[in-house]
């Protein structure tokens, strides 16, 4: 739902969480399917000035320093332009202090010239505890302070902040009333939101207003082994096998031992997750959105049966497992869309255990660990294993705990050799540019199929369920029954 | 292990509300408080959060049968002040009853609440009973917006039923002046521990302070997405489909020849309406896409607009369902809103999946949504404030476009039949539905 690319510009003194916000927002936007990239000007500066000496570099009267910093900003903007105009990016996050009106005006001129929308995200914070914690979490480990001890680093960094303070011009309600921005005050206690222009900015604001930095842990696991798992069948709504029940008991013991304050427990609305949660003996909430991916016509089949009865579908799925949608079912891409409210609420919550399913867990994990759509469907989420995620610095620490109850392996690796189907065809189609990529049908207007050397044209207005990848555009599998 | 199969009537999302919440409006007259109150209430009820508006002005009209003029609102009118305070307290009492006896979850307290003193009264009341409080303040100094407000909703108010237009406007402006004297807006400093959103100039700017929980977060998101720019929403179903003709539900068939005729007629109708910047949305199913194709402008596809999934009953006829699943058939008639088809969905699930569509519809301006019977019922229920009980029986016939125009506090509806015949797929609410085996019905319509 985006037309012109958007440039998100962070604003704020050092140690106000700008990079944290940039990275998190970028991760979220990519996960929901909006190609986003962050451009951290500090990194450009570290490329340019190989060795950081001290805060003196940032003194406002250090002309040499200022020149370099301005060049770095320009270099970063150049890369932004390339990303948004040539590399298919939709959102660029320009992560720097951008504390002067002059710098922001430069950015706006740049955006104007290139037809980008600008949305500012300012973080304002005067709580010394929060700033101190920031410094401990992310600054001490910065390449800039590799050779310093903690005290030296903290002292230098505080002086660095001082260098910015005098020339800091926060976004102003009156002077900047024509700009689009959100001001985040005191880590989310208060927000000022001005002139949200479009859908993506509205989603960004909603997301930023729901995240928090209170320490907490997220536990992800699948239901215990189910009867259908044991039979090697996918989907369905069966109960736990005896090993699955054993796992549920072990899970209860594990959770109890972890001694987690105010733990919330979520399950799907399928028997196997509910039965698993029941063993914990604590209240749990059920989300339909956490139900396993709907395999449509392949529900309750074994992979061998699918290969036999739906060989074309089987092959197509291996070609693009993320976007492939089961007939009358769902794709991983659909799953991500239906899991978005779950992620939003996970961000709001604190300690939480989510008991779900293989495909669902892959989607959630991909969000927390910033995995691409390519990697997502192949993430390893074995049965009877709990993943404990703890947010730390700019990312997430993962601990994997196998609860020592054996179970079948339901994981299928990415296939080495693509399955080919006997009916091959090529397509000289014009795929109309969908207005709302990538989640739609593709209307094939004219199609020619070549089979055994013979060409025949197919009925136009044929709907393809999946977005054609480059390869598919040249080599479309068209089976008469699927038309 | 106890039987924990999910009940057919389970809501699809956990209800994230524990203590009841009071939403307290703040603002001078003609700042859109009642508009916001009613719209927010309609939205919350639609997503399944029992919500009710308590408009203190209405209590005042009960107490003081005939309104003479603005003098009633003068800050030095002691008699009137007494009455106004009594009305506020009476409304608060009803809020309490709504929460404790009627299982309400959100109460919208719609009044000016412009003094700190009045807000303190409300806060003490809420604290005593353990209710959360979230303030919604509307601040506007654009004289054009205020004038438009007065025109849209004040002139027709019971207060001005016997006045001519100019008199009414003059009196109302003096009424506003009465409040201005004592108006203390929510203050960033003094009120920093309160939870609130301040809306400036109909949404160009927002200040949000201390959002406490999920429901407040959803309320803020909603308020930040609505607008008052005049626009029109067109709702219609796909043209008649091949499965419609066969009397079968669900599936993903293409249009029948009459359906194609409708698509062409729709194209003509839309073009004749000359709608600026019209957006067109369809589902991912062939029949809506084929319908939109005939209009000849770009359209966007939403999977969320797909028809309700009838699970094991997909592509069956009405008679087949009654034969193969007589119990399910009866259960559905008992509670059509919450009933979930085995391996399928309920209307309640539909509403949940349509929520992002509604949110985006609120952001948009002129839109045509080409969808399906159950989906259209859900969307219509949102716009026309229909209850969960009525929703599954709303009439949404094929080949008929509903044109919705927001006006005053609600929506004007025009129904436009495009003169292409189609089968009737509507099933009325059954009169008797007590036994486990379905009654035979004379209706030949479908689900």
Locate B417 and state its tokens.
């039949």
Locate A44 and state its tokens.
């450009």
Is residue B428, in this structure, part of any structural domain at all? no
Is residue B85, in this structure, part of any structural domain at all? yes
pLDDT tens track for A2-23: 579 999 999 999 999 999 999 9
Query: Do B134 and B248 have their domain in common?
Result: no
N-terminal to C-terminal alpha carbon distance within chain B: 37
At which of B196, B224, B252 does a domain end? B224
Q: Which chain B residues are closer than 8 Å to A201 by Cβ? A: none
Please indicate whether, in this complex, the C-beta atoms of A439 and B360 are within 8 angstroms of each other: no
pTM across the whole model: 0.88
Residue of B5, B343, B360 with shortest CB distance to A271: B5
CB atoms within 10 A of CB A470: 7
Please indicate whether, in this complex, the C-beta atoms of A286 and B14 are within 8 angstroms of each other: yes
Interface-testing mutation among A435, A444, A465, with chain B (most B C-beta atoms within 10 A):
A435
* pLDDT band of A443, cuts 50, 70, 90: very low
The verdict on whether B314 is a catalytic residue reads no
* pLDDT band of A475, cuts 50, 70, 90: very low
Is residue B368, in this structure, part of any structural domain at all? yes
Beta bridge partners of A183: A122, A192
Virtual torsion, Cα B152, B154, B155, B160, nearest 10 deg: 160
Are the CB atoms for B354 and B375 separated by under 8 Å? Answer: yes
Q: What is the per-residue pLDDT for B408? A: 84
pLDDT tens track for B232-279: 999 999 999 999 999 999 999 999 999 999 999 999 999 999 999 999
Are the CB atoms for A162 and A61 separated by under 8 Å? Answer: no
pLDDT tens track for B94-116: 999 999 999 999 999 999 999 99
Q: What is the per-residue pLDDT for A137? A: 86
Is residue B13, in this structure, part of any structural domain at all? no
Residue of B12, B293, B300 with shortest CB distance to A435: B300
Query: Do B72 and B201 have their domain in common?
Result: yes
Q: What is the per-residue pLDDT for A81? A: 98
Query: Do B52 and B169 have their domain in common?
Result: yes
Query: Do B161 and B29 have their domain in common?
Result: yes
Alpha helices in A86-197 (DSSP H): 101-114, 128-134, 150-165
Q: What is the per-residue pLDDT for A415? A: 84
Range A383-401 average pLDDT: 95
Residues 6+ apart with CB under 8 A from B389: B337
Please indicate whether, in this complex, the C-beta atoms of B298 and A435 are within 8 angstroms of each other: yes
Nearest CA in chain B to A288: B12
* Residue A138 to residue B173: CA distance in whole angstroms: 56
Rounded to 5°, angle at Cα B50 from B45 and B52:
85
Q: How far is CA A302 from CA A75, A239, A267, B342, B374, in A?
A: 53, 17, 25, 22, 34
**Chain A contact for B210 (CB, 8 A cutoff):** yes
Is residue B14, in this structure, part of any structural domain at all? no
Supply the DSSP string of B92-110, one letter for each residue: HHHHHHHHHTS--SEEEEE
Q: How many residues does chain B have?
A: 447
Check the CA dihedral B291-B297-B301-B305 and report its sign. negative
Please indicate whether, in this complex, the C-beta atoms of B12 and A289 are within 8 angstroms of each other: yes
Is residue B371, in this structure, part of any structural domain at all? yes
Range A375-386 average pLDDT: 97
CATH code at B310?
3.40.50.1240
What are the percentages of helix, strand and coil residues in chain A, rounded to 5? 40, 20, 40
Nearest CA in chain A to B1: A275
pLDDT tens track for A164-200: 999 999 999 999 999 999 999 999 999 999 999 999 9
Q: What is the mean pLDDT of chain B?
A: 92
Range A205-226 average pLDDT: 97
Q: Which chain A residues are closer than 8 Å to B13 by Cβ? A: 287-289, 341
Alpha helices in B47-157 (DSSP H): 56-63, 78-100, 116-129, 143-149
Query: Do B110 and B240 have their domain in common?
Result: no
Residue of A266, A334, A461 with shortest CB distance to B303: A334
Residue A325 has pLDDT above 80, yes or no: yes
Residue A434 has pLDDT above 70, yes or no: no
Please indicate whether, in this complex, the C-beta atoms of B204 and A461 are within 8 angstroms of each other: no
Q: Which of residues 291-350 of B touch A (CB under 8 A)?
A: 293, 298-303, 314, 343, 349
Q: Quote the minimal CA–CA distance from B190 to chain A in Å.
A: 14
Q: What is the per-residue pLDDT for B65? A: 87
Residue A82 has pLDDT above 50, yes or no: yes
CB atoms within 10 A of CB A70: 12
Q: Quote the minimal CA–CA distance from A208 to chain B in Å.
A: 11
Residue B355 has pLDDT above 70, yes or no: yes
* Residue A290 to residue A191: CA distance in whole angstroms: 31
* pLDDT band of A433, cuts 50, 70, 90: very low
Is residue B4, in this structure, part of any structural domain at all? no
Residue A440 has pLDDT above 90, yes or no: no
Interface-testing mutation among B17, B207, B292, with chain A (most A C-beta atoms within 10 A):
B207
* Residue B39 to residue B199: CA distance in whole angstroms: 15
Query: Do B65 and B146 have their domain in common?
Result: yes
Q: What is the per-residue pLDDT for A147? A: 87
Crossing angle, helix A63-85 and helix A41-48, to 10 degrees?
120
Domain that holds residue B113: 21-224
* Residue B388 to residue B378: CA distance in whole angstroms: 9
* Residue B22 to residue B109: CA distance in whole angstroms: 7
* Residue B308 to residue B293: CA distance in whole angstroms: 22
**Chain B contact for A461 (CB, 8 A cutoff):** yes
Nearest CA in chain B to A461: B290
CATH code at B169?
3.40.50.300
Rounded to 5°, angle at Cα B123 from B122 and B127:
120
Residues 6+ apart with CB under 8 A from A130: A186, A187
Q: What is the per-residue pLDDT for B323? A: 95
Distance, CA of A42 to chain centre = 23
Are the CB atoms for A391 and A216 separated by under 8 Å? Answer: yes
CB atoms within 10 A of CB A354: 24
pLDDT tens track for B55-101: 999 999 999 988 889 999 999 999 999 999 999 999 999 999 999 99
**Chain B contact for A337 (CB, 8 A cutoff):** yes
Q: What is the mean pLDDT of chain A?
A: 87
Residue of A191, A278, A288 with shortest CB distance to B4: A278
Query: Do B208 and B256 have their domain in common?
Result: no
Residue of B12, B301, B360 with shortest CB distance to A441: B301
Is residue B242, in this structure, part of any structural domain at all? yes
Query: Do B291 and B349 have their domain in common?
Result: yes
- Please state the domain count of chain B: 2
* Residue A89 to residue A15: CA distance in whole angstroms: 28
**Chain B contact for A199 (CB, 8 A cutoff):** yes
* Residue A181 to residue B353: CA distance in whole angstroms: 29
pLDDT tens track for B373-406: 999 999 999 999 999 999 999 999 999 999 999 9
**Chain B contact for A53 (CB, 8 A cutoff):** no
Active-site choice (B238, B352, B372, B399): B238
Nearest CA in chain B to A342: B13
Query: Do B280 and B191 have their domain in common?
Result: no
Q: What is the per-residue pLDDT for A479? A: 33
* Residue A275 to residue A268: CA distance in whole angstroms: 11
Please indicate whether, in this complex, the C-beta atoms of A195 and B360 are within 8 angstroms of each other: no
At which of B224, B254, B289 does a domain end? B224
Query: Do B155 and B243 have their domain in common?
Result: no
Q: What is the per-residue pLDDT for B353? A: 95
Are the CB atoms for B325 and B315 separated by under 8 Å? Answer: no
Whose tokens are 């769902």? That residue is A330
A and B: number of Cβ contacts within 8 A: 112
At which of B191, B224, B257 does a domain end? B224
Residue A459 has pLDDT above 70, yes or no: no
Query: Do B305 and B164 have their domain in common?
Result: no
DSSP B317: B
Query: Do B169 and B291 have their domain in common?
Result: no
Range B168-192 average pLDDT: 94
């Amino acid at each position: 739902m985006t037309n012109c690319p958007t440039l998100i510009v962070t604003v704020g003194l050092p140690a106000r969480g700008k990079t944290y916000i940039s990275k998190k927002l970028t991760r979220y936007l990519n996960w929901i399917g909006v190609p986003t990239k962050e451009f951290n000007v500090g990194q450009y500066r570290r490329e340019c000035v190989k060795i950081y000496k001290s805060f003196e570099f940032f003194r406002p009267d250090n002309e040499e320093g200022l020149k370099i910093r301005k060049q770095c900003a320009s270099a970063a903007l150049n890369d932004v332009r390339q990303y948004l105009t040539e590399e298919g990016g939709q959102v660029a996050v320009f992560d720097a202090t951008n504390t002067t009106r002059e710098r922001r005006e430069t950015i706006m001129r740049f955006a104007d010239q290139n037809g980008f929308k600008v949305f500012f995200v300012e973080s304002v914070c005067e709580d010394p505890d929060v700033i101190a914690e920031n410094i401990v979490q992310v600054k001490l480990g910065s390449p800039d302070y590799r050779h310093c001890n903690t005290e030296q680093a903290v002292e230098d960094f505080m002086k660095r902040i001082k260098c910015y303070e005098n020339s800091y011009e926060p976004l102003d309600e009156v002077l900047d009333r024509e700009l689009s921005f959100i001001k985040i005050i005191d880590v989310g206690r208060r927000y000022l939101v001005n002139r949200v222009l479009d859908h993506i900015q509205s989603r960004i604001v909603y997301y930023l207003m729901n995240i928090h930095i209170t320490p907490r842990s997220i536990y992800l696991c699948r239901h215990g082994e189910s009867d259908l798992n044991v039979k090697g069948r996918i989907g369905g709504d069966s109960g736990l096998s005896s090993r699955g029940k054993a796992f549920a008991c072990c899970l209860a013991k594990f959770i109890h031992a972890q001694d987690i304050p105010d733990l919330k427990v979520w399950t799907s609305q399928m028997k196997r997750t509910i039965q698993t949660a029941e063993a914990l003996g604590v209240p749990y909430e059920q989300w339909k959105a956490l139900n396993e991916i709907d395999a449509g016509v392949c529900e309750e089949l074994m992979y061998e049966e699918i290969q036999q009865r739906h060989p074309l579908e089987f092959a197509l799925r291996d070609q693009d497992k993320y976007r492939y949608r089961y007939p009358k079912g769902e794709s991983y891409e659909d799953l991500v869309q239906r899991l978005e409210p779950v992620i939003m609420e996970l961000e709001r919550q604190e300690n939480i255990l989510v008991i779900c399913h293989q495909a669902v867990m892959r989607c959630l994990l991909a969000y927390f660990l910033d995995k691409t759509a390519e990697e997502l469907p192949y993430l390893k989420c074995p049965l009877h294993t709990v993943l404990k995620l703890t947010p730390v610095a700019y990312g997430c620490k993962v601990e994997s705990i196998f609860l020592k109850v054996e179970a079948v392996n339901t994981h299928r690796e990415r296939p080495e050799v693509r399955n080919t189907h006997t009916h091959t065809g090529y397509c000289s189609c014009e795929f109309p540019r969908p207005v709302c990529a990538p989640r739609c049908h593709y209307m094939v207007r004219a199609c020619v199929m070549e089979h055994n050397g013979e060409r025949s044209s197919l009925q136009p207005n044929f709907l393809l369920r999946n977005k054609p990848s480059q390869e598919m555009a040249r080599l479309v599998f068209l089976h008469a029954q699927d038309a | 292990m106890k039987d924990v199969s999910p009940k057919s009537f389970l809501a699809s999302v956990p209800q994230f509300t524990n203590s009841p919440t009071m939403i307290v409006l703040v603002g001078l007259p003609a700042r859109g408080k009642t508009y916001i109150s009613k719209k927010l209430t309609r939205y919350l009820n639609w997503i399944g959060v029992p919500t009710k508006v308590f408009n203190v002005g209405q209590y005042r009209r009960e107490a003081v049968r005939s309104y003479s003029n603005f003098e009633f609102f003068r800050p030095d009118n002691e008699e009137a002040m007494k009455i106004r305070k009594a009305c506020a307290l009476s409304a608060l009492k009803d809020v309490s009853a709504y929460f404790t006896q009627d299982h309400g979850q959100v109460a919208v307290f719609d009044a000016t609440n412009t003094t700190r003193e009045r807000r303190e009264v409300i806060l003490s009341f809420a604290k005593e009973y353990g209710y959360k409080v979230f303030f919604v303040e509307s601040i506007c100094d654009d004289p054009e917006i205020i004038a438009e407000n007065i025109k849209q909703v004040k002139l027709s108010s019971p207060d001005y039923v016997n006045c001519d237009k100019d008199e009414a406007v003059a009196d109302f402006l003096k009424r506003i002046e009465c409040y201005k004297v004592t108006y203390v807006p929510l203050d960033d400093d003094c009120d920093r521990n309160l939870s609130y959103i301040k809306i400036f100039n109909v949404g160009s700017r927002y200040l949000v302070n201390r959002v406490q929980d999920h429901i407040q977060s959803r309320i803020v998101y909603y308020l930040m997405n609505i607008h008052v720019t005049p626009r029109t929403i067109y709702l219609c179903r796909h043209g008649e489909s091949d499965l419609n003709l066969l009397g079968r539900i669900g599936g993903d068939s293409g249009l029948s020849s009459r359906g194609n005729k409708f698509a062409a007629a729709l194209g003509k109708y839309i073009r004749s309406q000359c709608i600026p910047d019209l957006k067109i949305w369809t589902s991912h199913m062939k029949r809506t896409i084929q319908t939109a194709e005939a209009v000849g402008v770009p359209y966007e596809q939403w999977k969320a607009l797909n028809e309700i999934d009838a699970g094991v009953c997909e592509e069956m006829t009405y008679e087949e369902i009654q034969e193969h699943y007589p119990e399910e058939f009866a259960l559905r008639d008992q509670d059509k809103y919450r009933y979930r088809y085995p391996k399928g969905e309920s209307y309640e699930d539909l509403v949940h999946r349509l929520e992002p569509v509604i949110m985006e519809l609120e952001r948009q301006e002129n839109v045509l949504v080409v969808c399906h019977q159950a989906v259209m019922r859900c969307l219509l229920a949102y716009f026309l404030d229909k209850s969960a009980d009525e929703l599954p029986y709303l009439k949404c016939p094929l080949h008929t476009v509903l044109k919705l125009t927001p006006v005053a506090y609600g929506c004007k509806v025009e129904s436009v039949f495009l003169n292409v015949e189609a089968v009737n797929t509507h099933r009325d609410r059954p009169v008797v539905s007590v036994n486990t085996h379905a009654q035979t019905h004379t209706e030949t319509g479908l689900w």
